[in-house]
Amino acid sequence: MKPEDFSVLPAHVGVIMDGNGRWAKQRGLPRSSGHIEGAKNFRRIGEYAGDLGIKHISFYAFSTENWSRPQQEVAAIMDLFGDYLEEARERLDENLEKGIRLRFLGDKSRIDPRLVKLMDFVEDATKEMTKVNLNIAVNYGGQQEILHSVQQLAKKAAAGEIAPSDITLEDIESGLYTAGQPPVDLVIRPSGEQRLSNFLLWQSAYAEFWYSDVLWPDFSTDDFDQALLAFEKRNRRFGGV
């Protein structure tokens, strides 16, 4: 569909890219094949969302809990992430032309320093871009993110820089990885699961949820359209009447 086909677009979409493993299993392939297809689809849907004019989109790529998977699977996912980062560096001009700002949500301290270097490079190189804000959540946990923000504030309070009773919601918000970005309006989760799995907890306080049984590698631009069309029809009240 085209941007003008929608009466309203969410300011910020969150996508939980789930179902890669089951996609591979259905085909008798190793789980890593599912992640390869999932990574391809991330590129497709990310590009499509940008073309539609979605200004902020966050993709959940790897959670803080995903480290508990077999080491081989974790390594395969990190390799794919590395490939994507290399590509982002090589195609930097393309991203700049499209006005894409790339950011990574999550704790970088547990990620391979070689990847962190690339992450920092593309974040810095695209930081002036304003057309599309593409966030990729890697080693991301919503609870850990809130904890981190609160710890920073606690340090300030302990140093006497702020009074605990003066701490505001905005103070907590400004310590999140998404600081300055709008709250999530729509969370999309394919693969039949209906849970947040620690994704953007704070940011999704008033998000609309859209679920689908399609597995992430098969999740198409038509499915994305369906989610946006469903969002248009939602009656958002934010606690009002």
User: What are the residues binding ligand IPE (CB under 6 A)?
Assistant: 16-22, 60-63, 66, 77, 191, 193, 195, 197
Our CB check for Mg ion shows the closer of 73 and 223 to be 73
Residues 6+ apart with CB under 8 A from 22: 34, 191, 215
d(C-alpha 123, C-alpha 95), whole Å: 11
d(C-alpha 91, C-alpha 58), whole Å: 20
Q: Which two tokens stand for residue 74?
A: 């974790």
186 binds, among ligand IPE, Mg ion, none (CB under 5 to 8 A by kind): none
177 binds, among Mg ion, ligand IPE, none (CB under 5 to 8 A by kind): none
- Tell which positions 18-37 bind Mg ion, by CB under 5 A: 18
Half-sphere exposure of residue 136, counting CA atoms within 13 Å on the CB side? 22
- What's the closest the beta carbon of residue 42 comes to ligand IPE, in angstroms? 10
d(C-alpha 68, C-alpha 229), whole Å: 36
51, 66, 213, 222: which one is catalytic?
66
Length of the chain: 241
Q: Which stretch binds Mg ion (CB under 5 A): 11-19, 82-90, 140-148, 204-212?
A: 11-19
Closest-by-Cβ residue to ligand IPE is 21
63 binds, among ligand IPE, Mg ion, none (CB under 5 to 8 A by kind): ligand IPE
145 binds Mg ion per the rule CB under 5 A? no
| 132-140: strand order across its sheet | 100-105, 132-140, 56-63, 12-16, 186-189, 208-211
- Our answer to whether residue 66 is catalytic in this structure is yes
- Give the DSSP letter of residue 32: H
- Our answer to whether residue 120 is catalytic in this structure is no
| Residues with catalytic roles | 18, 66
Residues near Mg ion (CB under 5 A) are 18
